[in-house]
Amino acid sequence: MQIRRSERGFLGMSHSPLYGLNAVDAAVQRQLDAAVAQARALVHDFAPELVVLVGPDHYNGFFNELMPPFCIGSAATSVGDYLTPAGALNVDAALALGLAEHLMDADFDVAVSRRMKVDHGFVQALQFLWGGLDTPPVLPVFLNAVAQPGIARLRRCAQLGREMGRFLDGLPQRTLLIGSGGLSHEPPVPTMEHPDAAVRERITCARMPTAQEVAAKTERVMAAGLALAAGSPDMKPLNPQWDLQWMQATEQADWSAFSAQGEAAIAQHAGLSAHESKTWVVARTALDSPGTGQALHCGLRHYQAIPEFIAGYGILMLHNLASPHVPERPFP
């Protein structure tokens, strides 16, 4: 197939550290595994030469002592939390720095990390799609989704994505844009309002946790998922209606209804960690080439509310050019 300049695909994909840890109904697991397998097949058919991966962190790589709203990594290492592999991501350092320079020239001040640490919020998507960290070249873009007040607003996320798209317009590579995060969920991620000073210190200062701390955290999150599945009033329920509306808004690249409700409504309706869904905004708005008038095609739209995983789990794949490799359906 002849590859045209700026050919791009978008994949919005939830993640959950409890995938493979907490048991779910066999039919639920089969349905989810089939959707992930379909996403993997579509991605391999698309055969990206570059992956722009927008993901959050869960106090494994970024901490409150210095928390940027956005950060581009010219190198990135997975910490290997939960069931994800540890090790170096295949980052294209020159392109990452080129993206940072482009954004700075466009008056978009963005942080740069020469030694970014990432967790399952980045790595689970790579693991599911390529089986590990042996992937096409990656540009990792971090989005703060947990540490107030520095969580970027919807409008700013869209602005970042559009400017990233302009950078990609100058590249020949076939590019997959992944937004890894969301949808509705509120796992036990601590905030700076936590009453325990030791907890506040842990999410402020960067340090490697002990094996005992990692095990305790894993058990705590697993227990939270089981509590949510059991209907515990201490756990915020998932919101499938919000999730499906968000996925539709992402297809249409129109989040105006969510913006009109205000930022606080995201946590109110979908949970504190639903700000991760903004990774979809950044990646989706980088998909379109402004002024090209290209039609979009949806290859996959899947959703399940899985309380055991503390996840409104959504997968959405779009493609900005007609291709014999990708099932074509006119974008609504």
Q: Which residues are known to be catalytic? A: 120, 185
282 touches 143 (CB < 8 A): yes
Number of helices (H), then strands (E), belonging to the chain: the values are 10, 11
Both tokens of 186, joined, read: 């509120």
Residues in the chain: 332
Enter the tokens of residue 51: 């992956």
Sign of CA dihedral 132, 137, 141, 142: positive
Q: Which residues contact 88 (CB under 8 A, 6 or more apart)?
A: 75, 76, 77, 78, 133
| Cis amide prior to 149 (ω within 30 degrees) | yes
Q: How distant is the alpha carbon of residue 194 from its chain centre?
A: 25
With a CB cutoff of 8 Å and minimum separation 6, the contacts of 78 are 84, 85, 86, 87, 88, 89, 117, 118, 119, 122, 123, 133
Q: What are phi and psi of 234, to 5 degrees?
A: -80, -10
Q: How many Å separate Cα 305 from the centre of its chain?
A: 17
C-alpha pair distances (Å), 331 with each of 37, 265, 301, 317, 322: 23, 28, 12, 11, 12
Neighbours of 210 (CB within 10 A): 9
User: Among residues 143, 127, 180, 139, which one has the least CA distance to residue 62?
Assistant: 143
Rounded Cα distance, 239 and 300, in Å: 21
